[in-house]
Amino acid sequence: MSRRASGLRAWLWQRLSAIYMVLYLVVAGGALLLWPPVSFDDWRASVATPLASVTTALFFGSLLMHAWVGARDVLIDYVRPFAPRLLLFVLLGLMLIGSGLWILKILYFLQMDG
């Protein structure tokens, strides 16, 4: 059964990303509380492990996906004329893609230097 990206799929991604973000925050927050890093280098080493990098990258991926669906909902509701809506969609998309690349860059350099 094919489902259109704008309908059920968007709604489903929004919910799945929310669940992942909650799980990540609980687990990552819990780990920080239970095993607090003793120094900056210690903290850097712990976030540069492959497991932490991948789960953190997935967290930010979920955040961007969630933000896209949510902001898109707001634009669909309130911005009716085509031209301003398209412009805002493009700006939103660029901002989210830019944020994603920036996050990847940070995670990549953490790996390299760590």
Partner 1 sequence: MDMRFSIYRYNPETDAEPCMQDYQLSGITSGMMLLDALKRLKAQDETLAFRSSCGEGVCGSDGMNINGRNGLACITPLATLKQPVALRPLPGMPVIRDLIVDLDNFWRQYREVQPWLVREDPIPEVELRQSPQDRDRLDGLYECILCACCSASCPSYWWNPERFLGPAALLQASRFIEDSRDQATEARLDRLDDAYKVFRCHTIMNCADVCPKGLNPSQAIGNIRQRMLKQFV
| Residues binding partner 1 (CB under 8 A) | 1, 3-4, 6-8, 10-12, 73, 76-78
What whole-number distance in Å separates Cα of residue 96 and Cα of residue 93?
A: 5
CB of 101 to partner 1, least distance (A): 27
Other CB atoms within a 10 A radius of the CB of residue 68 amount to: 20
- Between residues 4 and 34, which has the closer beta carbon with respect to partner 1? 4
Q: Which residue is listed with tokens 């930010």? A: 60
CB of 81 to partner 1, least distance (A): 13
User: Which is it for the CA torsion 91, 96, 100, 106, positive or negative?
Assistant: positive
Identify the DSSP state of 9: I
- Between residues 12 and 54, which has the closer beta carbon with respect to partner 1? 12
- Between residues 11 and 109, which has the closer beta carbon with respect to partner 1? 11
